[in-house]
A = this chain, B = another copy of it.
Amino acid sequence: MEIKTEIITIGDEILIGQIVDTNSAWMATELNQIGIAVYQITTVSDNKEHILKAINEAFSRVDIILVTGGLGPTRDDITKKAIAEYFHTKLVLNEEVFEAVKARLERRHIPVTDISRGQAMVPEGCRAFVNEWGTAPGMWFEKEGKVLVSMPGVPVEMKGLMRKYILPGLQQHFSLPVIEHRTILTYGTYEAHLAGLLEDFENAMPEKVKLAYLPSQGRVRLRLSGRGNSGEQLTQLLDRLEKELLAIVGEYVYGKGEETLEEVTGKLLKDNGKTVVTAESCTGGYIAHLITSIPGSSDYYIGSVIAYAYEAKIQELGVRPSTLEKYGAVSSQTVTEMATGVRNKFGADYAIAVSGIAGPGGGTPEKPVGTIWLALAGPEGVVTQKLQLPFGRIENITRTSYTAINMLRKALLQGN
């Protein structure tokens, strides 16, 4: 039988729309990965009766209740009082938690007060987990085989407690089957195309393995999930399937797990001792921003010229006025000259150049909004590519920038 969870989120700030609840989606993803389904998500106010009612109802529906929020030092600990009342117990000082809170505050030169002591008060009989990322502890309760866990709502604290204590604890408590995942990241194609290529592969897959397609912003993540009793056998099976999958769609694959395109490309540049520069028009610096968002990018990134105006393209990038006149700023010829110009200027191994019409204005019948030319200049010469994007301004800029970085990544892999 499937183990079911309800997430109860406590917080007036969610109910007035001040913050978006991103915790629940993160928790749901992590729980699914260990084979636990989320049956319902309930958001209630910072009110004892309301919290108690939600806990009561949830216990009638599910096996696991994960409560987040309502534990801050200034919250008057309504959540803890509600939980203590639910379990017919009282709040007692947890010495281990109190020592940890005191040590944390002392490290930060913050005086220990009654409020800090209050943070270490937990319902009697619970298992308390020290919160290394904050002060409010995690709390674990059991009742008739079911489990209730209460955590603070600050994302970094919740995630820390979940990873270290709650997820492993739930796997153990419910003797869950072994589950293993492999996430393979693709760029430059769409879900239906990948699904077509992988049709035979999917049909031949053993039943205990599933393949999910997770598309977002031009990227499609492929997630293989296997479940079984023996971890070793499962690892071998997934190793084999991953290899088969890569043999089929490898040309679109840029990485694994949580890697980003700019991270993977940065690593390739670093490992190969190569440098990159950019000449940007319609992306307005966004490619440079993506490259430099990676720590340590100064090892391989030299600089950029952003040339919005015609004159800037001519003066700073050496684009010939005759090229602009004959072919226009949005053309294969112009981006070729931009890429060559910026590569020579900075003496880089690779240069990315982009010129296009991001919109909403500036389109013409021959070159409508979304027409973008990209060029990559490298040791072996220049390649160009045209995009015709259907999105709004910001999405056109983003997609173009990722496509450009993907061109560079492919060139680095081919060593040209």
Enumerate chain A interface residues (CB-CB to B < 8 A): 9, 14-22, 24-32, 37-45, 50, 54, 57, 214, 278, 280, 282-289, 291-293, 295-298, 301-309, 311-312, 315-316, 345-346, 359-362, 393-394, 397
A and B contact pairs by CB, cutoff 8 A, 26 listed: A14-B25, A14-B41, A15-B37, A15-B38, A16-B28, A17-B24, A17-B32, A18-B214, A40-B44, A42-B43, A278-B306, A283-B289, A285-B285, A285-B292, A285-B304, A288-B288, A292-B306, A292-B308, A293-B393, A295-B359, A295-B393, A298-B362, A301-B308, A305-B316, A309-B346, A316-B346
A289 with B286: in contact, given A22-B20, A214-B18, A298-B309 (CB under 8 Å)? yes
Q: Considering the chains assembled together, what is the distance between the CA atoms of A214 and B346 in angstroms? A: 44
B302 touches A309 (CB 8 A): yes
Q: Which residues on the B side are within 8 Å of A289 (C-beta)?
A: 283-286, 289, 397
Chain A interface helix/strand/loop/mixed: mixed
Other A-B contacts than A41-B43, A295-B361, 6 sampled, CB-CB below 8 A, are A17-B29, A39-B50, A40-B43, A284-B292, A285-B285, A303-B305
A302 with B312: in contact, given A27-B17, A32-B17 (CB under 8 Å)? yes
Q: Which residues on the B side are within 8 Å of A309 (C-beta)?
A: 298, 302-303, 346
Closest 4 CB pairs of A and B: A284-B292, A285-B285, A17-B28, A285-B288
- Residue from A57, A293, A303, A397 whose CB has the most chain B CB atoms within 10 Å: A303
B308 touches A305 (CB 8 A): no
Q: Considering the chains assembled together, what is the distance between the CA atoms of A42 and B293 in angstroms? A: 37
B293 touches A306 (CB 8 A): no
Shortest CB-to-CB span from A281 to chain B, Å, is 9
Partner of A308, one of B18, B25, B303, B311: B303
B39 touches A45 (CB 8 A): yes
A32 with B16: in contact, given A284-B293, A293-B393, A361-B296 (CB under 8 Å)? yes
A20 with B25: in contact, given A289-B285, A345-B316 (CB under 8 Å)? yes
Q: Considering the chains assembled together, what is the distance between the CA atoms of A87 and B21 in angstroms? A: 31
